[in-house]
Chains A and B, each alone.
Chain A
Amino acid sequence: MAAACCGMPVSAGLSETKIQRFSLASIHCAACIKKIENCLNALKNVKSARVNLSMKRLHVTGSVEQDVIIQSLSEIGFDALPLNDTILEKENDKVGNDLLIRMAASGFAMMNIMILSVAVWSGASDETRNMFHLISAIIALPVIVYSSKPFFRNAYNAISVGRLNMDVPISLAIILSTLMSLFETLNDGQSVYFDAAISLTFFLLVGRYLDHKTRRTAKSAAKELTALEVQNTQRLEKGCFINVAVQDLSVGDLLLIPSGERIPVDGYLCDKSALLDRSLITGESNALEIKESSDLHAGEINLGHPLKMQVTTIGEFTSLRRMAALIETAENGRNSYTALADKAAQIYAPLVHLLALLAFIGWFINSGDIRHSINIAIAVLIITCPCALGLAVPAVTTAAISRLFSHGFLVKHATALERIAEVTHIVFDKTGTLTVPCIIVPESWSVKDKSVALALAQASGHPLSRALTKALTGVLPLDIYDLEEIQGEGVQAKLNGEQVKLGRGSWLDANFSGFGLKIGKNPAREIETSEELRNGVLSMLDEIDMPAEIITGDTYHAVKRFKHMVNLPITAQARPEDKIERLSKLLSQGKKTLMIGDGLNDTAALASAHAAIAPSTALEASRNAADIVVLDHDMKNIPLVVRLARATRKISKQNFAIAAIYNAVAIPIALAGFASPLIAALAMSASSITVILNSFRLRTIK
Chain B
Amino acid sequence: MNVLVVLIPISLFLGSVGLAAFLWTVKNDQYDDEKGNAARILIDDE
B5-41 vs A, Cβ < 8 Å mask (1 yes, 0 no)? 0001001100110110011001101011111100111
Some 25 contacts from A to B, beta carbons below 8 A apart, are A29-B39, A30-B41, A33-B36, A33-B39, A53-B39, A54-B33, A54-B34, A54-B35, A54-B36, A55-B33, A91-B32, A92-B29, A92-B32, A93-B32, A97-B27, A101-B23, A101-B26, A104-B23, A104-B26, A105-B19, A108-B15, A108-B19, A112-B11, A115-B11, A139-B12
A57-114, CB < 8 A from B: 91-93, 97, 100-101, 104-105, 108, 111-112
Taking the closest CB of chain A, its distance from the CB of B17, in whole angstroms, is: 10
A116–B9 Cα distance when bound, in Å, is 12
CB atoms of A108 and B18 under 8 A apart: yes
Q: A97-B26, A104-B22, A112-B11 are in contact. Are A30 and B40 (CB under 8 A)?
A: yes
A111's closest neighbor in chain B, by CB? Answer: B15
CB of B3 within 8 Å of the partner chain: no
B residues in contact with A55, CB < 8 Å: 33
Q: Nearest residue in B to A92 (C-beta to C-beta)?
A: B29
In the assembled complex, the Cα of A92 lies from the Cα of B37 at a distance in Å of 17
Known: A53-B39, A100-B31. A108 touches B16 (CB 8 A): yes
Instruction: For the complex, give the distance between the alpha carbons of A101 and B4 in Å.
Output: 29
Q: Which residues of the partner chain A approach B23 to less than 8 Å between Cβ atoms?
A: 101, 104
Chain A residues with CB below 8 A from B4, complex form: 128
Complex contacts, A34 vs chain B, CB 8 Å: 43
- Give the contacts of A39-56 with B (CB-CB under 8 A): 51-55
A29 to B39, CA, bound (A): 6
Report how far A97 CA is from B24 CA in the complex, Å. 11
Q: For A135, give its contact among B8, B16, B35 (CB under 8 Å).
A: B8
Report the Cα distance A642→B23, complex, angstroms.
39
A639 to B26, CA, bound (A): 37
Between A30, A51, A93, A139, the greatest number of chain B beta carbons within 10 A of the residue's beta carbon is seen for A30
Residues in B lying within 8 Å of A, measured CB to CB: 1, 4, 8, 11-12, 15-16, 18-19, 22-23, 26-27, 29, 31-36, 39-43
Residue of A at shortest CB range from B27?
A97
| Closest CB in chain B relative to A139 CB, distance in Å | 8
A52, B39: Cβ atoms under 8 Å? no
Complex: A139 Cα to B27 Cα, angstroms: 23
**Which one of A33, A104, A111 lies within 8 Å of B40 (CB-CB)?**
A33
A415 vs B43: C-alpha distance when bound (angstroms): 37
Q: Across the interface, which residues of B come within 8 angstroms of A139, CB to CB?
A: 12
Give every chain B residue within 8 A of A105 (Cβ-Cβ): 19
Q: Are B32 and A52 in contact (CB under 8 A)?
A: yes
Q: List chain B residues, Cβ under 8 A from A54.
A: 32-36
Shortest distance between the CB of B46 and any CB in chain A (Å): 9
A139 vs B9: C-alpha distance when bound (angstroms): 12
Closest Cβ–Cβ distance, residue B13 to chain A (whole Å): 11
Out of A33, A91, A100, A111, which one reaches B43, CB within 8 Å? A33
Residues of B within 8 A of A53 (CB): 33, 35-36, 39
Alpha-carbon separation in the docked complex, A135 to B43 (Å): 47
CB distance from B27 to the nearest CB of A (A): 8
**Across the interface, do B31 and A30 meet the contact criterion of CB distance under 8 Å?**
no
| Assembly CA distance A54 to B29 (angstroms) | 13
Chain B contacts for A30, CB-based, 8 A: 39-43
- Determine the chain A residues whose CB is within 8 A of the CB of B33 once the complex forms: 52-55
Q: How far is the CB of A365 from chain B (nearest CB, A)?
A: 43
CA distance A104 to B18 in the complex (A): 10
Q: Is the CB of A104 within 8 A of B36?
A: no
Pick from A91, A93, A128, A135: contact of B1, CB below 8 A.
A128
Compute how far the CA of A99 lies from the CA of B40 in the bound complex, rounded to whole angstroms. 26
CB distance from A545 to the nearest CB of B (A): 31
7 cross-chain pairs, A with B, having the tightest CB-CB distances, nearest first: A53-B36, A30-B39, A30-B42, A108-B19, A53-B35, A54-B35, A52-B33
List chain A residues, Cβ under 8 A from B22.
104
Within 8 A of B (CB), among A405-431: 406
Distance in angstroms from A267 CB to nearest chain B CB is 42
In angstroms, how far is the closest chain B Cβ from the Cβ of A68? 24
Question: How many angstroms from the CA of A4 to the CA of B13 in the assembled complex?
Answer: 71
Across-interface contacts of B19 in A (CB, < 8 A): 104-105, 108
The B-contacting residues of A in range 118-166, CB under 8 angstroms, are: 128, 135, 139
Q: Taking the nearest CB of chain B, how far is it from the CB of A463, in angstroms?
A: 35
Contacts of A115 on B, CB cut-off 8 Å?
Answer: 11
Contact: B12 with A112, CB < 8 Å?
yes
Q: Which residues of B contact A112 (CB under 8 A)?
A: 11-12, 15
Given A30-B40, A30-B42, output 20 extra A-B contacts at Cβ < 8 Å.
A29-B39, A51-B36, A52-B36, A53-B35, A53-B36, A54-B32, A54-B36, A91-B32, A92-B29, A92-B32, A101-B26, A104-B19, A104-B23, A104-B26, A108-B18, A111-B15, A112-B12, A112-B15, A128-B1, A406-B35
CA distance A97 to B22 in the complex (A): 11
Docked Cα-Cα span, A314 to B1, in Å, equals 80
Chain B neighbourhood of A100, CB < 8 A: 26, 31
Closest to B7 in A: A115
**Alpha-carbon gap, A135 to B4, bound state (A):** 12
Nearest Cβ on chain B to A665's Cβ, whole angstroms: 32
When C-beta atoms are compared, the residue in chain B nearest to A127 turns out to be B1
Which residue of chain B has the shortest Cβ distance to A406 in the bound complex? Answer: B35
What CA separation (Å) do A51 and B43 show in the bound complex? 13
> Considering only CB atoms, which chain A residue lies closest to B12 in the complex?
A112
Complex Cα gap A97–B28 (Å): 10
- Nearest CB of chain B from residue A692's CB, rounded to whole Å: 17
Which residues of the other chain, A, contact B26 by a CB distance below 8 angstroms? Answer: 97, 100-101, 104
